[in-house]
């Protein structure tokens, strides 16, 4: 119900630079755009060119306090609204986001360097889908009746938790935000999001768009750095639930801070997801599957990326050769160009981190680095963070490249000889987010699907997160689930028992 004048264009805006500039220096709190209380800002850079495209408001504890207080005020009324009505409003937001899909896609491509055709447009579409899905679930916030005694009515009801503090990363910021905001709102909570410092713009625009439909204060957006803005959000006494997606390291800090206040926390952390390819697979489909599984189009910046590929020995050489050919055929270039398959790494820091892994791999005795695709030739992109995807062979399980999350366009392919040994290797990891199996042997597939230590196992496909399917890891990959009805019930409500003695 945005009634105050605001600096951003009202309609769909396909000029992403103009929109980025208009979003500069602002938070969205209590139904309106406001600058950071300190007046401070930091630069948002287009990683394809190195040019600044906007300045983001640099939030700190004072901005967090203002946003959380507004959210707490709004929550009282929001929770009183019939759940189905809340859902209907969230559904209306989904329709608005669909109208703005292309705009959001262009904006996210500008700030993250993710290719428009293969990634950014897809993400913007999934975001609308997530809000649409949860918008239909208002009346599923059901409790139970519990048999207790003939003269006692005993029921449970689902109640919201209050203000939710959500901290998101930069790799798929709109989607990962939607997985938190949509169920939180429908369940009757209000939300304060702290965006990732590398990608604050598209999520801010989404917040504004949704505030045209939602009552003020229900959905608020802050930008800023982790320790200065994220930490005070987690620690704020009025934040009654914390949900975080990002690194394991930061996840542990967040979990400790949430433990200090004893509030529930959901963590969606990293992965080192295995892809296991048996010789009896549908070969061509599996090579294509490996390309999508590895998220090469997202420069491998995905927690679910199949960064360890195990291939049964008889087809190993052929598989590596075909993979190399397929990745070579992918076009790296301007993220906003329709022809581009692969865009850029998000930031200089990540670029260096990934490069260091690649150098380490190349130095490892016995390793072969198959460098794929080609850097763009356009001089306008010469400062862009483009990195050729690398397929490594000849590395063993001791290598850091096989054990650690690289979060870049790097995958390691290793041969295997039997199902038991590959299962042991796949499970020999600190992570347990996702896994995929490629075989036409149903017995082997089902057996391994049950024994793989992962939150999500797919056979002969490797799709991205789906709104209605529970998603989340085991081991160091996280705590709790996202997406699905259960995630809303379990992580954004508490169950109250009410007993009425009618005797």
Q: Which residues of the chain form contacts with ligand NAI (CB under 6 A)?
A: 167-171, 194, 196-197, 225-227, 230-231, 234, 245-247, 250, 253-254, 268-270, 303, 350, 353, 405, 407
Is 338 a known active-site residue? no
Between 319 and 407, whose beta carbon lies closer to ligand NAI? 407
**Minimum distance from residue 146 beta carbon to ligand NAI (Å):** 38
Is 325 a known active-site residue? no
Q: Which of 119, 208, 425, 482 is catalytic?
A: 482
Q: Contacts for 483-488 with beta carbons within 8 Å, 24 or more apart?
A: 483/130, 483/179, 485/137, 485/140, 487/179, 487/183, 488/134, 488/137, 488/140, 488/141, 488/183, 488/186, 488/187
**Minimum distance from residue 157 beta carbon to ligand NAI (Å):** 32
The phi-psi region of residue 187 (left if phi > 0; otherwise alpha if psi is between -120 and 50; otherwise beta) is alpha
Residue the block writes with tokens 């264009």: 9
Contact 115, 343 (CB under 8 A): yes
DSSP 167-202: E--SSSHHHHHHHHHHHHHHTT-EEEEE--TT--HH
**How would you class 457 by CB atoms within 10 Å of its CB: exposed for 0-12, middle for 13-18, buried for 19 or more?**
buried
**Closest residue to bound ligand NAI by CB:** 226
Q: Which of 268, 312, 405, 425 is catalytic?
A: 268
Between 9 and 227, whose beta carbon lies closer to ligand NAI? 227
**Minimum distance from residue 256 beta carbon to ligand NAI (Å):** 10
What is the C-alpha to C-alpha distance for residues 495 and 491, in angstroms, rounded to an integer?
A: 11
**Minimum distance from residue 394 beta carbon to ligand NAI (Å):** 24
Between 225 and 283, whose beta carbon lies closer to ligand NAI? 225
**Minimum distance from residue 276 beta carbon to ligand NAI (Å):** 22
Residue the block writes with tokens 């291939």: 311
**Minimum distance from residue 384 beta carbon to ligand NAI (Å):** 19
**How would you class 163 by CB atoms within 10 Å of its CB: exposed for 0-12, middle for 13-18, buried for 19 or more?**
buried
Is 207 a known active-site residue? no
Is 180 a known active-site residue? yes
What is the C-alpha to C-alpha distance for residues 399 and 361, in angstroms, rounded to an integer?
A: 8
Between 277 and 346, whose beta carbon lies closer to ligand NAI? 346
Q: Which of 111, 303, 312, 405 is catalytic?
A: 303
Between 29 and 287, whose beta carbon lies closer to ligand NAI? 29
Exposure on the CB side of residue 466, measured as CA atoms within 13 A: 7
Between 100 and 114, whose beta carbon lies closer to ligand NAI? 114
Instruction: List Cβ neighbours of 136 (8 Å cut-off, separation of 6 or more).
Output: 87, 91
Q: Which of 103, 111, 114, 180 is catalytic?
A: 180
Residues serving a catalytic function are: 180, 268, 303, 482
């Amino acid at each position: 119900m945005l009634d105050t004048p605001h600096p951003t264009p009202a309609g769909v805006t396909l000029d992403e630079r103009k929109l980025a500039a208009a979003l500069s220096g602002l938070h969205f709190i209590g139904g309106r755009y406001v600058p950071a209380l300190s007046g401070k800002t930091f630069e948002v850079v287009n990683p394809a060119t190195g040019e600044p495209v906007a300045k983001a408001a640099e939030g700190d504890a004072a901005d967090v306090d203002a946003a959380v207080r507004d959210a707490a005020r709004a929550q009282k009324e929001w929770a009183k609204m019939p759940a189905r009505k809340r859902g209907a409003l969230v559904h209306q937001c989904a329709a608005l986001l669909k109208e703005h899909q292309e705009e959001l896609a262009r904006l996210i491509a500008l700030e993250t360097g993710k290719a428009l055709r293969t990634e950014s447009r897809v993400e913007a579409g999934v975001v609308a889908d997530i809000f649409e899905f949860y918008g239909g679930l208002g009346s599923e916030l059901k409790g139970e009746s519990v048999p207790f005694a003939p003269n006692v009515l005993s029921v449970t009801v689902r109640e919201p938790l209050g203000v939710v503090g959500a901290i998101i990363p930069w790799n798929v910021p709109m989607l990962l935000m939607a997985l938190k905001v949509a169920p939180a709102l429908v369940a009757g909570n209000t939300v304060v999001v702290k965006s990732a410092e590398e990608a604050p713009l598209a999520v801010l625009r989404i917040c504004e768009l949704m505030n045209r439909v939602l009552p003020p204060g229900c959905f608020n957006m802050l930008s800023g750095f982790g320790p200065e803005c994220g930490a005070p959000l987690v620690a704020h006494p009025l934040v009654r639930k914390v949900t975080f997606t990002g690194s394991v390291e930061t996840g542990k800090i967040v979990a400790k801070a949430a433990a200090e206040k004893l509030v529930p926390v959901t963590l969606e952390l990293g992965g080192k997801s295995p892809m296991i390819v048996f010789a009896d697979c549908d070969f061509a489909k599996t090579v294509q599957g490996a390309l999508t599984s590895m998220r090469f189009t997202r420069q491998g910046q995905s927690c679910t990326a199949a960064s360890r590929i195990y291939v049964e020995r008889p087809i190993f050489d052929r598989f590596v050769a075909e993979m190399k050919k397929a990745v070579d055929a992918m076009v790296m270039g301007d993220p906003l160009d329709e022809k581009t398959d692969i865009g850029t790494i998000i930031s200089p820091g990540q670029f260096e981190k990934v490069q260091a892994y690649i150098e380490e791999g190349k130095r490892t005795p016995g390793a072969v680095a198959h460098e794929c695709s080609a850097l763009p030739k356009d001089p306008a992109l010469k400062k862009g963070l483009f990195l050729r995807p690398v397929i490594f062979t000849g590395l063993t399980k001791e290598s850091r490249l096989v054990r650690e999350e690289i979060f870049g366009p790097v995958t390691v392919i290793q041969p295997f000889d039997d199902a038991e040994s590959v299962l042991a290797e796949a499970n020999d990891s600190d992570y347990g987010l996702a896994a995929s199996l490629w075989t036409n042997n149903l017995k082997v597939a089902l057996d391994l699907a049950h024994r793989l230590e992962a939150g999500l196992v797919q056979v002969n496909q490797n799709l991205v997160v789906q709104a209605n399917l529970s998603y989340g890891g085991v081991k160091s990959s996280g705590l709790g689930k996202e997406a699905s009805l259960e995630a809303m019930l379990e992580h954004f409500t508490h169950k109250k028992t009410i007993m009425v003695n009618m005797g």
